[in-house]
Amino acid sequence: MQGSHLQNITDNGFTVIEDVYSKDEILAVLRHIREADTDSDTFRKSAGLFAIRQFLKEVPGTSKVIFNDRLSQIITELFGEGYFVVKSIYFDKPEESNWFVAWHQDLTISVDQKVELPGFGPWTVKQNQFAVQPPLNILEDNFTIRIHLDDADEGNGALKVVPGSHLKGVYRPETIDWNAETETTCCVKAGGIMIMRPLLLHASNRTTNSKPRKVMHIEFSRAALPQEINWAEKAEL
């Protein structure tokens, strides 16, 4: 079973695994989120989006639920040892959301400070968080797990991807040749996960079916950064 998922990740840049979390585990995560202090700058609240950056730090009670035996086994079997968390975000896209995300790759990592280093750049700062594009080999080895707390499909903004685009380095959206590329929608049931490489081109449509979409987005790496900078959110598994 895991062999086919590994092949999907290698060839297509993503895979979907269902039934990683029970209904009780989903409810436990949502309870921790409801009880969190939302006054921090890492919480973003609007009519179309509720998001929590540095999610595992802000809502630490979720960690034991998220890293259950099933997920730990999946990570070990697909990627081996040595990985750690480097970024975590929670997205709640409400029923009335008109929010969408254009085609892009996840080209930056979060670090603790800005230092000019060979191979690192450009730099950005968002909500007092430094982000930088690292050398390509780091992005090629990183992976992201998206944990779905609601069913996601074409109607409520499930992720669209371009299979195989993770193998093409930095792939600017404006240069996509839609005569050669195809897109597919990654439908995932509540309790399931989508695993993807950060260089996979992905996008998300507006919600059209009045259904919510709550997702936890967790990025993993095993890269050692130059001694001048550190991972901003590093957490051991």
Whether residue 47 is predicted with pLDDT greater than 50 in this model: the reply is no
Least confident window among 63-72, 92-101, 193-202, 225-234:
92-101
pLDDT at 97 over 80: no
Query: If you average pLDDT over residues 57-64, what whole number do you get?
Result: 95
122: preceding bond cis by omega (within 30 degrees): yes
Task: Please state, in angstroms and rounded to a whole number, the distance separating the CA atoms of residues 214 and 55.
Answer: 13
- Residue that wins the pLDDT comparison between 24 and 93: 24
In the DSSP assignment, the letter for residue 209 is S
pLDDT band with cut points at 50, 70 and 90 for residue 48: very low
In the chain, domain spans? 2-236
Q: How far apart are CA 165 and CA 168, in angstroms?
A: 6
**Domain 2-236 of CATH type 1.10.3720.10:** no
The predicted pLDDT at position 204 comes to 93
Which one has a higher pLDDT value, 179 or 48? 179
pLDDT at 72 over 90: yes
17, 20, 22, 28: CA torsion to nearest 10: -120
**pLDDT band at 94, cuts 50/70/90?**
confident
Q: Rounded mean pLDDT of the chain?
A: 92
Average pLDDT rounded to a whole number, residues 103-128? 94
Query: What is the pLDDT at residue 129?
Result: 86
Nearest 5°: phi and psi at 11?
-85, -45
Higher pLDDT, 88 or 2: 88
pLDDT per position as a tens digit, 140-197:
999 999 999 999 999 988 999 999 999 999 999 999 999 999 999 999 999 999 999 9
Mean pLDDT of 23-43: 85
Q: Is the pLDDT of residue 41 over 90?
A: no
Band the pLDDT of 137: cuts 50, 70, 90: very high
Task: Give the span between the Cα atoms of 48 and 111, in whole angstroms.
Answer: 28
Adjacent-strand bridge partners of 130: 111, 125
- According to the model, what pLDDT value does residue 46 have? 53
The enclosing H or E element of 159 equals strand 159-161
In this prediction, residues 58-69 reach a mean pLDDT of 96
What is the average per-residue pLDDT within 210-232? 95
